[in-house]
Structure formats: C-alpha cells, structure tokens
Amino acid sequence: MAQVRLAWWRDGIMAEQAVPEHRSVEMDALRGAERFADMRRGLVDMINGWEELLVADGEEWATMLPAYAHGRGRGMFTALCPDHAEIADRAGQVWALWDLAGHVADETLAWQVLETARLTVGDGLQDEVHRLPHMLRMMAIPAISDVLRGRAAPLRLTGRLYLTMLRIQLFGR
C-alpha cells in the first residue's frame, strides 16, 4: 500500500498540470510553491529514496543505503536549496541516514547506517554546511555532529537537540 501512495505522489508531482485524481490540499500547496518546477526532480528523487527502503530485503542493505540516502536526503535538500546542490546533496544524505539509524530497531543495521553516513560526511562538509538555508542547517548540523560521534537521531526531540537547533537558528552555527 505504501508503494501505491508513493506512486500517487510521484505521478502528481510529475504531471505538468494538476489533474483531479491528484488533488489534495498538500499536493495543491506543493504545486503552488514559487519554485515548484525547480523542485520537481528533487521531490521525485525523495520519493524514489523512500521506495528503495520499502523494497529492500536484508541482503541488499549495503547497496540500498546509498540509494536511499541519495534519494530521500539529496532529493529533499537539493529541492529546497538548488543554489548549493553539492553541499545540499551530501548534507541531505547524511541527514537521511542519521534519521534512519535512529528509527531502526536492529542495532547492527543501525551501526551500518551510521557508518555509511560517516563515510558520506567526508572532508569539509562541516565547514561548508553554513551555506545552506537556516532550515536545512538546523537539520544537517545536528546530524553531522551526531554521526561523527557515532550517535543516531533521537526518536523524539530531546533537550540537547532542541538547544542545538535553537542555537543554529539564532546564531547560524
């Protein structure tokens, strides 16, 4: 059923015009966004990333994780920040993997997800992430920091995460 819903979103986003079978408050708002045409490819990539997660079985995690991160994280971040696509790409992938690691019950798999995220951080991302818009910075900086410390995303908003996001909103870092 989840794949059917993802297909509905993909078809609605890719349609050149709004059609009755793809009408909803959310879809109308998305299609009404100022830079919707520029965001379209990234949004479809994000949907494809979620689909990677749905169709993977236990044997395919090593190849699925980069495809999931590329789709969900890169898709969303580059859709929202096309001006800094390379930075948004890497930061988005790290964020998606960090978030996934925090929601996986299998500790071995969570570690594998975090390791994939750590390798994605690479060199220089921490110094370049300040170029992203505030909203994306508030998502990326805690993710990068936690990944480098071997921590996954918390299941709920913690005091530490809240204060980190507040600091980024107020001071930009």
26 in a structural domain: no
100 in a structural domain: yes
Number of folded domains that form the chain: 1
Alpha helices in 123-158 (DSSP H): 125-128, 134-149
66 in a structural domain: yes
Q: Using pLDDT thresholds of 50, 70 and 90, give the confidence band for residue 118.
A: very high
134 in a structural domain: yes
Half-sphere exposure in the Cβ direction for 106 (13 Å, CA):
6
Q: Using pLDDT thresholds of 50, 70 and 90, give the confidence band for residue 59.
A: low
Q: Check residue 57 and give its pLDDT.
A: 67
80 in a structural domain: yes
Instruction: Give the predicted TM-score (pTM) of the model.
Output: 0.85
Structure tokens at 66: 């980069």
- Alpha-carbon distance of 50 to 71, in angstroms, equals 7
Tell me the average pLDDT across 6-30: 85
* Mean model confidence pLDDT for the chain: 87
Q: Check residue 58 and give its pLDDT.
A: 61
Write out pLDDT tens, residues 28-46: 888 888 888 888 888 999 9
Tell me the average pLDDT across 157-171: 80
By residue range, what is the domain housing residue 128? Answer: 33-171
159 in a structural domain: yes
Write out pLDDT tens, residues 66-116: 899 999 998 888 888 888 888 899 999 999 999 999 998 989 889 999 999
In this predicted model, which residue has the larger pLDDT, 165 or 92? Answer: 92
Tell me the average pLDDT across 129-136: 87
Whose tokens are 């690691």? That residue is: 101
48 in a structural domain: yes
- Alpha-carbon distance of 54 to 2, in angstroms, equals 8
